[in-house]
């Protein structure tokens, strides 16, 4: 027994509606103004601020400088790879065309992950008296800045 599913049939009006329509320069500009993008440097700068605040809070709450340094190092394990990623995405090579932009995104994301993992693996040798919990808290809170950036992104402009 076989199951036959009907193939949707489009009349000419529906098929024309499904066609790709290239935007004019004015339409593209209006779309950019309606939905402004968020600069990766804005996100990285907020990650630095949040990482510093988490490190100071860890130091203040525990009274141990090692907790502050550990939380700060956890934040750096997010910020330094994010700087590399942003720099790579904003490079001239990544903006040649859509294919190189897509390829560049995956390459720089892989580099970002590798640097983060390497920094976390090197943490016991680099941070004296490493507090793993403080480091993970610094890392996680700093990572959450991406979500904060979505909430605080520039608002739509109205004309």
Domain ranges of the chain: 39-151
2 confidence band (pLDDT: 50, 70, 90): very low
Mean pLDDT (the chain, rounded): 84
Neighbours of 135 (CB within 10 A): 25
**Could you say which DSSP state residue 128 is in?**
T
Position with higher pLDDT, 96 vs 139: 139
95 confidence band (pLDDT: 50, 70, 90): low
Residue among 146, 157, 148 nearest 40 (CA): 146
- Here the tokens at position 60 are 């203040």
> What is the average pLDDT across 82-106?
81
How confident is the model over 98-137, as pLDDT tens digits?
777 788 889 899 999 999 999 999 999 999 999 999 999 9
3 confidence band (pLDDT: 50, 70, 90): low
């Amino acid at each position: 027994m076989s199951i036959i599913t009907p193939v949707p049939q489009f009349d000419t009006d529906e098929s024309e509606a499904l066609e790709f329509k290239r935007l004019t320069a004015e339409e593209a500009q209006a779309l950019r103004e309606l939905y402004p993008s968020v600069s990766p440097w804005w996100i990285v700068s907020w990650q630095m601020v949040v990482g510093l605040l988490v490190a100071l809070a860890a130091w203040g709450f525990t009274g141990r400088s090692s907790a502050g340094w550990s939380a700060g190092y956890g934040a750096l394990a997010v910020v330094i790879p994010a700087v590399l990623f942003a720099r790579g995405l904003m490079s001239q090579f990544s903006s040649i065309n859509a294919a190189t932009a897509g390829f560049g995104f995956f390459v720089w994301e892989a580099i970002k992950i590798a640097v983060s993992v390497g920094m976390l693996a090197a943490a016991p040798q680099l941070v004296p008296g490493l507090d793993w919990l403080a480091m993970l808290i610094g890392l996680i809170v700093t990572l959450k800045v991406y979500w904060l950036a979505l909430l605080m992104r520039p608002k739509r402009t109205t004309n």
